[in-house]
C-alpha cells in the first residue's frame, strides 16, 4: 500500500461530503437529528488528524441549497447544532490556529437566519488570522448557485469572462482546488458540491455513515489516494508520486 507519510502523496485540500447521518440514526433507532449531532462529533478528530499530517485545507459540506426541502424541524435542528458547535469550538479553533470560512449564499436575501449569519461572521472574524489550517464550511451551498452568482458579478462589473476571472469570483477564491473529495454514506454522486473546483479531484466513496468516519477510515482513504495516478489529461505520471509508490 502507498505510504501516506510521504508528503507529496498527500492531498493539499480534502473536501468531505458528510452524508449518511440520518440513516445512521434511523438504524440505531434514534431520531435523525441525533445522527447530525453524532456527525458533528467526528469533526474534531478528523481536523486533528489532518493537522498532524500537515494537510492545510479541509472543506466540509454541511447544508446544500437543496436541503431546504427537508422537514422544517430537521432544517432548524441542523442550524441549531451548527450554531452551538461553533460557539463551543471557537476556543479550540483559536488554540489550534485553525481558520474557518463559510461558502455558499450568505446574503441578507438568503434563507439563513440572522442568528446563523451572525455566528458565521463571528467565527470568520475571530479566526481570520489563523494559519495552521483552513477549514471551509459549505452552508446553504450549491455549486450551480455559486457559479451563477460569480458569473453575474462578473457581468455586472463588465469583467471579461475567463476561466481565471470566474474561478476568482467563486466563493472558494484563494483555496486550491480539492485534490480529494470523500463522500461517506454509500452514495456515489456530488450532489451539487464544488462543481467547478472538482474537475480533476480524485473521488473516494466510503460505505461508512459520516458519524462512523474516523481517523482510521481517513487514513484508508489517504492510502487509496496516494496510490492513484493523476494525469490531468496528460500521459506522464507524476515523478514524485512514482517515488512515493516505489
Ligand atoms: C448528511 O446526512 C447531512 C446533511 C445533508 C445535512 P443526511 O441527513 O443526508 O443523511 P442520510 O443521507 O439521510 O442518511
Ligand atoms: C449532500 O447530501 C449534502 C450534504 C452532505 C450537506 P444529501 O443527502 O443532501 O444528498 P442527496 O440528496 O443524497 O443527493
Ligand atoms: Mg443524505
CA-nearest residue for atom 1, ligand 1, is 19
Q: How confident is residue 105, by pLDDT bands cut at 50, 70 and 90?
A: very high
Residues annotated as catalytic (active site), given as ranges: 19, 67
pLDDT in tens, 148-194: 999 999 999 999 999 999 999 999 999 999 999 999 999 999 999 99
Sheet holding 98-103, edge to edge: 98-103, 133-141, 57-64, 13-17, 180-183, 202-205
Q: Is the pLDDT of residue 139 over 70?
A: yes
* Ligand 1 midpoint to CA 156 (Å): 36
Pocket test for ligand 1, best of 185, 186, 208, 211 (most atoms within 8 A of CB): 185
Residue pLDDT, tens place only, 10-31: 999 999 999 999 999 999 999 9
Ligand 1 pocket: which of 25, 35, 70 to mutate (most atoms within 8 A of CB): 35
* Separation between Cα atoms, residue 96 and residue 99, nearest integer Å: 9
d(CA 20, CA 35): 8
Other Cβ atoms less than 10 A from the Cβ of 97: the count is: 13
- Is a pLDDT exceeding 60 seen at residue 61? yes
Burial 11-44 (b: 16+ CB within 10 A, else e): bebbbbbbbbbbebbeeeeeebbbbbbbbbebbe
Q: Cβ(9) to ligand 2 under 6 A?
A: no
Reply yes or no on whether the pLDDT at 213 is more than 90: yes
Q: Taking the CB of residue 243, how many other CB atoms lie within 10 A of it?
A: 12
Is 62 a pocket residue for ligand 2 (Cβ < 6 Å)? Answer: yes
pLDDT of residue 236: 73
pTM of the full structure: 0.94
Q: Which ligand is nearest to the CA of 104?
A: 2
Euclidean distance between CA atoms 181 and 187, whole angstroms: 13
Question: Cβ(67) to ligand 2 under 6 A?
Answer: yes
What ligand has the least distance to the C-alpha of 26? Answer: 1
> Are the C-beta atoms of residues 182 and 222 closer than 8 Å to each other?
no
For residue 62, give the ligand 1 atom closest to its CA. Answer: 6
For residues 8 and 43, which has the higher predicted lDDT (pLDDT)?
A: 43
* Residue 10 CA: distances (Å) to CA of 6, 141, 154, 244: 7, 26, 34, 10
Does the beta carbon of 18 sit less than 6 angstroms from any atom of ligand 1? yes
State the pLDDT at residue 3: 62
- Give burial (CB, 10 Å; 0-12/13-18/19+) of 1: exposed
Ligand nearest to the CA of 193: 2
Amino acid at each position: 500500500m502507498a505510504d501516506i507519510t510521504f508528503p507529496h502523496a498527500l492531498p493539499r485540500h480534502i473536501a468531505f461530503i458528510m452524508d449518511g447521518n440520518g440513516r445512521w440514526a434511523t438504524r440505531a433507532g434514534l431520531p435523525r437529528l441525533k445522527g447530525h449531532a453524532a456527525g458533528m462529533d467526528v469533526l474534531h478528530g478528523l481536523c486533528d488528524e489532518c493537522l498532524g499530517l500537515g494537510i492545510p485545507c479541509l472543506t466540509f459540506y454541511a447544508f446544500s441549497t437543496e436541503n431546504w426541502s427537508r422537514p422544517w424541524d430537521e432544517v432548524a435542528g441542523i442550524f441549531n447544532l451548527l450554531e452551538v458547535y461553533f460557539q463551543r469550538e471557537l476556543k479550540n479553533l483559536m488554540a489550534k490556529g485553525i481558520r474557518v470560512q463559510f461558502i455558499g449564499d450568505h446574503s441578507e436575501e438568503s434563507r439563513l437566519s440572522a442568528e446563523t449569519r451572525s455566528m458565521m461572521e463571528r467565527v470568520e472574524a475571530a479566526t481570520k488570522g489563523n494559519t495552521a489550517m483552513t477549514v471551509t464550511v459549505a452552508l446553504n451551498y450549491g455549486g450551480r448557485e455559486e457559479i451563477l452568482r460569480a458569473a453575474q458579478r462578473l457581468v455586472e462589473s463588465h469583467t471579461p469572462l475567463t476561466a481565471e476571472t470566474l474561478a476568482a469570483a467563486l466563493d472558494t477564491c484563494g483555496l486550491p482546488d480539492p485534490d480529494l473529495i470523500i463522500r461517506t454514506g454509500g452514495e456515489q454522486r456530488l450532489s451539487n458540491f464544488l462543481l467547478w473546483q472538482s474537475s480533476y479531484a480524485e473521488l473516494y466513496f466510503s460505505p461508512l455513515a459520516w458519524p462512523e468516519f474516523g481517523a482510521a477510515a481517513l487514513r484508508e482513504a489517504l492510502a487509496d489516494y496516494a496510490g492513484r495516478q493523476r494525469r490531468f489529461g496528460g500521459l506522464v505520471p507524476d515523478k514524485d508520486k512514482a517515488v512515493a509508490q516505489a
